[in-house]
Copies of this chain bind each other. A is one copy, B any other.
Amino acid sequence: MDEAKSRRRGETPSVLVVGSLALDDIETPFGAVSEAVGGAAYYAATAASLYAPVRVVAAVGTDFPKKHLDDLAGRGIDLEGVEIKEGLTFRWSGRYDNDMSRAQTLRTEVNVFADFRPKIPDSYRDSQYVFLANIDPELQLTVMDQLDGPKLVAADTMNFWISNKRDAVVEVLKRVDVSLLNDAELRQLCGIPGLVSAAKCVLDMGPKVAIIKKGEHGAVMFTRSSHFSAPSYPLEEVRDPTGAGDSFAGALMGYLASQDDVSETALRRAIVHGSVVASFAVADFGASRLERLRREEIASRYGKMKEIVSFEPE
């Protein structure tokens, strides 16, 4: 992890994203949408595709509008790993109240995702950068079993799995390079209120890198020997936080793949890219702003992020 890997000329490695594609009903104080395309894999793949080739493993029902798959394909995203199964697509419905930091889940219909067993197509097995989005940790383990020595695997999870399949979550953390959690999940997993001690507890489980997403408070990274803190990009208006964490993860992985570099320097840059892309993603409902995002817009906010944290030596 510590040595900068030299970039292969002209051949950017792919990011493999394994997770859900979904149809979401979302209410926030700014409005509502129904049957918006979403799911962790949708946000993460769309974000990653701004930087690198992307491959997706997911399952949708026959009700999933073809338009969304066409949109993904239109970004050059490889959909060989997306199964279209008889039945309905995963549906999530949630509401954000005035305090936009936490979603209240109104309804979850797992539908065809209930018996999703991720099958990695042969053409995906050599994937170097792998993002295991929030799915059953036992499935995350089976994904890793199907890969030929990836360079970097990052895993997300959620409170439900930490409560109900804690051992499998711990087993996943034992095997991945990067743990991606939000601060509430981190505290739940470790039972420690202090973020620094909780991050150490996660590193003790196995990953070399613990990245903690803190919403409007930014993101932090801990390794055994270093600590990095990135602010969030200051936004006057957050219209819909859905997908912020997955957009962050997708951009992070996409950036690392684009550089083919997993050094500390690259990871710090990748976290800033993740924060910037997430700051766009939350500016409109569902993935609509993310879908319109251009690299020049990212570059401009990236530069502002440097100004935001800048201070002179003592």
A194 surroundings in chain B (CB, below 8 A): 100, 216, 235-238
**Known: A268-B310, A269-B312, A314-B302. Is A193-B231 also a contact (CB below 8 A)?**
no
Q: Are B238 and A229 in contact (CB under 8 A)?
A: no
Any B CB within 8 A of the CB of A218: yes
Any B CB within 8 A of the CB of A143: no
A314 surroundings in chain B (CB, below 8 A): 269, 299, 302-303
Q: Are B309 and A309 in contact (CB under 8 A)?
A: yes
Any B CB within 8 A of the CB of A76: no
Any B CB within 8 A of the CB of A234: yes
Q: Are A236 and B312 in contact (CB under 8 A)?
A: no
Binary contact readout A285-314 vs B (1 if CB under 8 angstroms, 0 otherwise): 000000000000001001100111111111
Any B CB within 8 A of the CB of A176: no
Q: Smallest distance from the beta carbon of A242 to chain B beta carbons, Å? A: 16
Which of A79-87, A103-111, A195-203 lines the interface with chain B? A195-203
Any B CB within 8 A of the CB of A16: no
Q: Which residue of chain B has the shortest Cβ distance to A191 in the bound complex?
A: B98
A236 surroundings in chain B (CB, below 8 A): 194, 196-197, 200
* Chain A, range 235-252, C-beta contacts under 8 Å to B: 235-238
Any B CB within 8 A of the CB of A11: no
Q: Smallest distance from the beta carbon of A183 to chain B beta carbons, Å? A: 9
Any B CB within 8 A of the CB of A217: yes
Q: Are A195 and B216 in contact (CB under 8 A)?
A: yes
Q: Are A98 and B214 in contact (CB under 8 A)?
A: no
A272 surroundings in chain B (CB, below 8 A): 311
Q: Smallest distance from the beta carbon of A216 to chain B beta carbons, Å? A: 6
Binary contact readout A90-123 vs B (1 if CB under 8 angstroms, 0 otherwise): 0000000011110000000000000000000000
Most B CB within 10 A of own CB, among A101, A307, A309, A310: A309
A228 surroundings in chain B (CB, below 8 A): 308-311
A196 surroundings in chain B (CB, below 8 A): 234-236
A-B contact pairs, 10 of them (CB 8 A): A98-B193, A196-B236, A214-B217, A218-B229, A220-B234, A228-B309, A229-B308, A272-B311, A299-B314, A306-B313
